[in-house]
Structure 1
Amino acid sequence: MNYLYSLRPSPLYALVCVIPLILLSCGFLALAYYKWPVLCIPAVGCLLIAWYHYLQILFIRYHISAEVLQISSGIFFKQADNLELFRIKDYSITQPFWMQLFRLMNVQLISTDQTSRSVSLRGIPNSDLMDSLRELVQQARLRNHIVEIS
């Protein structure tokens, strides 16, 4: 399939998502150093979980073609979800303060699809994606003769 856009979450976004686990691991290591050496085991466990979660976020791919938005994810077990563009009803962009600093954004797509009413594209680079996506949705609706009735 010929993709117009291929996006993935930023590594910085993935790092921010796992910071609580890293801090928890540091706390366990500090307690292990001063009091109970056995706490090294949960510290290593937290780091392994953080690493897996980091990789899990980095392996997400968002592919946008003229007809379909495909979200593929998974490290060991791959999963691909497709959303027909003509089913997208509404768009929403959220940018917390730290995401604004690093020029990242979260995009929420509301659709009429029964299996995925809401689709999130998280931690993607800030761009003119919404304008392009809006045009692609309108073109897909024209091609499929979709008329919205309120």
Structure 2
Amino acid sequence: MSIANSTETIIWQGKPSHFLNLKTYIFCVLFFWLVFPLFILLWKIIQLKSTKYTLTNQRLQIKTGVFSQQFDELELYRVKDMRYERPFLLRLVGRGNLTLFTSDATDSLIILQAICQGEQLRQQIRQAVEDRRGKGSRRVQEIDMFNG
């Protein structure tokens, strides 16, 4: 993915960990003699390898897909809230899941799964969101409307 604007800089790039598919990998190893699980194993590895997260100072880009690729972009000023979770098994390998709650029409919930240094990334996103909301002609403020 290319960055269109020269003032846009890459802050972080990452991929989900293979530890995310641990149960599938164990199943495939236990039943390798059936041959079919080897195809499942190979597919899961390829799927994970083809997922890429890129955080710039303006947006979060997510590339997924093996045969058909999908590119999602989230403008950082649309991030409303974040949650960082470290389930026990992911915690053992220093990974976690970062959930972004957004005001984006197509992706109101984005989960970056099994990422390394998630707490540091959460802080980087928070800082980038604040910078993005306060700079330029966009000066964005979030307004919540409640029907009651």
**TM-score greater than 0.5 by the shorter chain:** yes
| In structure 2, C-alpha distance between the alignment counterparts of 1:140 and 1:3, rounded to whole Å | 14
Letter in 1 for 2:37: C
Q: How many residue pairs are counted as aligned between the two chains?
A: 134
Matched, 1:3 2:25: no
Matched, 1:88 2:79: yes
88-97 or 73-82, larger mean C-alpha shift: 73-82
Q: Is the 8 A contact 1:86 1:137 kept in 2?
A: yes
| In structure 1, C-alpha distance between the alignment counterparts of 2:101 and 2:25, rounded to whole Å | 29
CA displacement at 1:54 relative to structure 2: 2.0
| In structure 2, C-alpha distance between the alignment counterparts of 1:137 and 1:63, rounded to whole Å | 15
Q: Secondary structure, in 3 states, of the residue corresponding to 1:4?
A: strand
- Label 1:114 to 1:140 Cα distance change in 2 as closer, same or farther (>3 A): same
User: Match for residue 121 of structure 2?
Assistant: 129
- Label 1:17 to 1:69 Cα distance change in 2 as closer, same or farther (>3 A): farther
Q: Secondary structure, in 3 states, of the residue corresponding to 2:35?
A: helix
Q: Secondary structure, in 3 states, of the residue corresponding to 2:31?
A: helix
User: Match for residue 146 of structure 1?
Assistant: 140
Alpha-carbon deviations, 1:92-134, whole Å to 9, x = none? Answer: 1111111111000111101001100100100111241111110
| In structure 2, C-alpha distance between the alignment counterparts of 1:44 and 1:117, rounded to whole Å | 40
The structure having more radius of gyration, on CA atoms, is 1
| In structure 2, C-alpha distance between the alignment counterparts of 1:102 and 1:123, rounded to whole Å | 9
Unaligned runs of 5+ in 1: 30-42
Counterparts of 1:28-39 in structure 2, within 5 Å, are 29=33
Q: Is the 8 A contact 2:101 2:108 kept in 1?
A: yes
Task: Choose which of 9, 24, 46 in structure 1 pairs with 2:37.
Answer: 46
Counterparts of 1:60-75 in structure 2, within 5 Å, are 60-75=51-66
Q: Is the 8 A contact 1:10 1:58 kept in 2?
A: no
